Structures are given as C-alpha cells and as structure tokens.
Amino acid sequence: MRDLKQLCKMLAQLSIFLSSIVLGIMLFFSFVVAPVTFHSLDEENARKFIRKIFPFYYQVNFVLCAFTTLTYFFQKIFNINFYLILFVTILFFVSNYILMPLINKYRDNNQNKKFKYIHFTSVLINFIQIIILIFLLIY
C-alpha cells in the first residue's frame, strides 16, 4: 500500500513536471523562436524554417501531453485536470495534422483569406493551451 501511494505521488509530480516543460516550450517558441526567426531571416527562409520546426514543436508537445494524460489515467484520476490536459493533447494533434497542412496549402496556393483564418485559429488554440497549462499548474 505504501508503494502504491509513493507511485501515485511520483505520477502526480511527473504530470506537473511534464506540464511545466510543455508550457516552457510553448512560451519559448512563441516569444523567442518565432519572433527571432521572422526578424533574423528573410521571408522565404523564415517560412522554410518555420515549416520544418512547427511539426517538431507540435509532436514533442503532443507526446509530452499524452504522457501527462496517461499519468492521470493510470492513477484513475478523471477530474477536471485530466480532461483539461486531454483537451490540450487533442489540440496539439489537431494543430499538427489538420491545421498545419491547411495553413501550408492555403499559403502555397495564395488563398490569403483562408490562410489568415486558419492561422489565426492555430494561434488562438496555442493561446488557449497556454492558459489551460497555467491554470493546471496553479490549480
């Protein structure tokens, strides 16, 4: 019984640690990597770089959030924190496998109105994910 309590405590700490890592990655990318990229590189090279790094960004964060979700699942904790981290995890999947291909397609085909709408949606999702992670770490 003592070992089970210790395992649960470790899993709870792991979920906090992983959530903190994801939040740190998101903040660093949003406020350092993206602005420096567009400030330092010409538009063509900035686009090439962003297209290469965004899938990696989404995949890493998806995997970390999936592990965090699993820590709740293995503990059989299905509270608001579980559903919020599950939601963040799903949003990373949607952003990588649905929104990013559409963003690239609309940009490549000069469909600027659609591009701006989908890009805004992805930025909004990113912002919502940051807010949720901050909430999880404070709550």
Task: Return the residue matching tokens 């538009």.
Answer: 43
| Conformational region of residue 12, where left means phi above 0, alpha means psi within -120 to 50, and beta covers everything else | alpha
Rounded (10°) angle between helices 80-94 and 112-138: 150
State which amino acid sits at residue 19.
S
- Give pLDDT tens digits for 60-80: 999 999 999 999 998 999 999
Q: Enter the pTM of the model.
A: 0.94
36: helix, strand or coil: helix
> pLDDT-based confidence at 3, cuts 50/70/90?
confident
